[in-house]
Amino acid sequence: MEDIKIGIFICHCGTNIGGVLDIESITEYAKTLPNVIYATDNIYTCSEVGLTEIRDKIKEFNLNRVIVASCTPRTHETLFRNTCQEAGLNPYLFEMVNIRDQDSWVHMKEPEKGTEKAKDLIRMGLSKATLLRPLEKVKVDINPSALIIGGGISGMHAALNLANQGFQTTIIEKESELGGNLKLLNKLYPIQVDASKLLEIIYLVESHRNINVLTSSIPVKVEGFIGNFETTIKKNKQISKIKTGIIIIATGAKALNPEGLFGYNGKTVISQLDLEQLLKENNVKAQNIVMIQCVGARNDERPYCSNICCMTALKNAMLIKEMNPNANITILFRDIQTQGTTYEDYYRKAREKAILFVKYSPEKPPLVKDSVVEVYSELRNLIINIPYDLVVLSTPLIAHEDSTKLAKMLKIPQQGNKFFLEAHVKLRPSDFATDGIFICGSAHWPADVRESISQAYAAASRASRFLSKDYLEVEGATAEVDTEICIKCNICIKICPFSAISKNEEGEIVVNKILCKACGVCGASCPVGAITILHFTDEQIISEILSCGVGY
C-alpha cells in the first residue's frame, strides 16, 4: 500500500473566491486532513507563479496526489494536469475542486456557509484523490489507408480527395462498373448537363496511382476498429481481405419502382427513371404529359420527402418542353421543394415555360384513368380532368435491401426507413458514433449530385483527420471488464452506444479502449459489478458520498 502524499493548493482567484470565502480557515482545515503533506493558498493558482509552485512542491515533497481548489475543471483541468505531468506526476493523480463557479460566486450573501461548503468539497475531493490510480493514454497505430464501399459519384469523389492527399484508397463496387445511379440518368439539373460528363472522373479514379478499384465486389465481414479495420471482400467466388484505417459508406440508394401505384404499366404510366431512359434515346413522343409528385412518399410507410423529385420533375418537364414547345405538361404536387437560390430560380423558369402546376392533397390523390388524370384541385375547389398520353410518376429514393446486412456487419444503426443513422444529425452528419466509419451521399439520405459531391468531400475531410496521424492517442480513463467475475450476459455489449464492447476469440468480454468514451453506463448496468470505470470507480464515487459531511 503506497504512502499517499497530498498537496493542496487553494486559490483566491483575486477577490473572486478570496473576497467571499475565508481562505485562511479553509487552508488551515486542509492541513488537518489525512495524508496532506503540503497545503497553501495562491492568489491565482493558474498564473505562472502558481503553476511553478505546484511543480516545485511536487518535486520537493514527492507529492503523489495534487488537489487544486479553484474554478471549474471544465476549463482548467487540462492545464493543471499538464502542469503535474511536467513535474513528473501522472496527470490522472490530479483532482480539482470547484469553489468558485459553484461556491463563492453563488453564495456571496452567505460567506460562512460558502466556507463550510468549500471545506466539505475539499474533503470530498481529497477522499476521491486518495483512491485515484495512475493511468496512461492509449496509443493505437493508424493504417493510413481507406476503404470506400460504393463506387458512385459520392464514393468516387471521396476517393479522389483522399488519394490526392496521399492515402491509399480502395473502392469496392457491387456492380461491374463504377458510376452508380448516374449511369441511369440523362441530364442533370440545374444546368442540364449530360450525366455522362460528370462520370468522366471514372477515368481519373481508375488511373490514380493511389486508388485501387474492385468491381463486382461486396463486403462480407468487417472486423477491427478505427485505425485497424479488416474487411473481407468477395469478388465473384474469390475471397480476399483488406486492412484499412477507416471506412466510408457511399452505397447510395435506389429509386422506388412504382409497381402497383397509380396504374403503373411501364408504357403509358412510367417512372421518372423510365423517362430518363426515354429522354436519353430521344424517344419521348407524348404530347400531353402529367407528372405526379410524392408517389409512394410522404405517406405512412415512407413518411419522408425524398428531396430531389421536385427538381427532377421540373428538369424533365423543361427538357421535354425544349424539344417540343407545344407539349402540354402538368405537374400535380403537394409542396414544391426548391429551396435556396439556384433551385427557386429554376422553379420560376419552369413556370415561365408554361408548365402547369396543380396542388393536390394526400386525402384526395389523383386518379389515373384511361385517357385522363382526374384530380381534385384544392385551389379551385373542383375536379379537373387532364387528358394525357403519358403519366410520369415521381417516386422517392429508398434504402437498398442489403443496407441492413451492411449495418449489422459494421455495427452501425439505421433510422426508421433504413437509411443509415449518423452520430449527430446536426453537428456530425458525416460521422457514425463508432469511430472510424463515415458516410456520404444517398446512403445517408436522398441527395442530388451537388449534395452527394459535397458530402463526399465532407466525409473525406472527417476521415483524413485520423489518416493523417501516425497514431491515435485516446483517454486512459476508460471502462475495464474483470473476466473472472463476468457472467457473459452481454448487457454491456448492447448498452454501449459506441460499440466499444465485444466478445474476443476466447469468448471473453473486452472493452476496446480506443472506442470507449468512458460514459460509465456499462459500469452502472453490469448485473455483477464486473466493470470498473477508471477514474470514476464505484469506490471513488462512494468515498466522495461518505465524506460529504454527515455522520449520525
Kindly identify the residues of this chain, within the stretch 232-261, that bind another protein according to CB under 8 A.
none
The piece of 28-36, 175-183, 233-241, 339-347 that touches another protein (CB under 8 A) is: 339-347
Site string for another protein, 506-525 (x = CB under 8 A): -----------xxxxx-xxx
Site membership for another protein, residue 164 (CB under 8 A):
yes
Residue placing its CB nearer to another protein in the complex, 150 or 441:
441
- DSSP letter at 2 equals P
Amino acid at 297: A
**Size, binding site for another protein by CB under 8 A:** 120
Q: Please choose, from the candidates 46, 54, 52, 51, the residue with its C-alpha nearest in 3D space to the C-alpha of residue 7.
A: 54
In angstroms and rounded to an integer, the radius of gyration of the C-alpha atoms of the chain is 32
Task: Please count the other Cβ atoms lying within 10 Å of the Cβ belonging to residue 421.
Answer: 16
Instruction: Reduce the secondary structure of 78-124 to three states and give it as a string.
Output: HHHHHHHHHCCCCHHHEEEEECHHHHHCCCCCCHHHHHHHHHHHHHH
Q: Stretches 95-103, 232-240, 252-260, 264-272: which one binds another protein (CB under 8 A)?
A: 95-103
What letter would DSSP give residue 231?
E
**Dist CA 185 CA 254 (whole Å):** 12
The minimum distance between CB 24 and another protein, in angstroms, equals 19
Within residues 428-457, the interface with another protein by CB under 8 A covers: 428-430, 433, 444-446, 449-450, 453-457
Q: How far is the CB of 462 from another protein (least distance, A)?
A: 6
120 lines the binding site for another protein (CB under 8 A) = yes
Which residues inside 361-390 make contact with another protein, applying CB under 8 A?
Answer: 378-381
Residues 182-211 binding another protein (CB under 8 A) are 188, 190-191, 193, 198
Residues 479 and 510: their CA atoms lie apart, in Å, by: 9
Output the smallest distance, CB 66 to another protein, in A.
17
What gap in Å lies between CA 64 and CA 52, rounded to an integer?
17
For the four alpha carbons of 201, 207, 210 and 216, in that order, the dihedral sign comes to: positive
Among 140, 356, 489, 510, interactor with another protein by CB under 8 A: 489
Of the candidate residues 460, 501, 511, 514, the single one contacting another protein (CB under 8 A): 460
Q: Which of 246, 137, 85, 244 is nearest to 473 (CA)?
A: 137
What H or E segment, with its residue span, contains residue 455?
Answer: helix 449-467
Smallest gap from Cβ 159 to another protein, in A, equals 12
Q: What angle do CA 425, 426, 431 make, to 5 degrees?
A: 60
Residue 100 binding another protein, by CB under 8 A: yes
Shorter beta-carbon distance to another protein: residue 266 or 497:
497
| Rounded CA separation 441/108 (Å) | 55
Nearer to another protein, 57 or 157 (CB): 157
Candidates 176-184, 284-292, 400-408, 488-496; binding stretch for another protein (CB under 8 A): 488-496
Element (H, E) at 270: strand 269-271
Please list every residue from 282 through 321 that binds another protein, using CB under 8 A.
298, 303-307
Beta bridge partners of 377: 382
Nearest C-alpha neighbor of 289 from the set 202, 372, 183, 227:
372
Q: Does 418 bind another protein (CB under 8 A)?
A: no
| Contact flag: residue 70 with another protein (CB under 8 A) | no
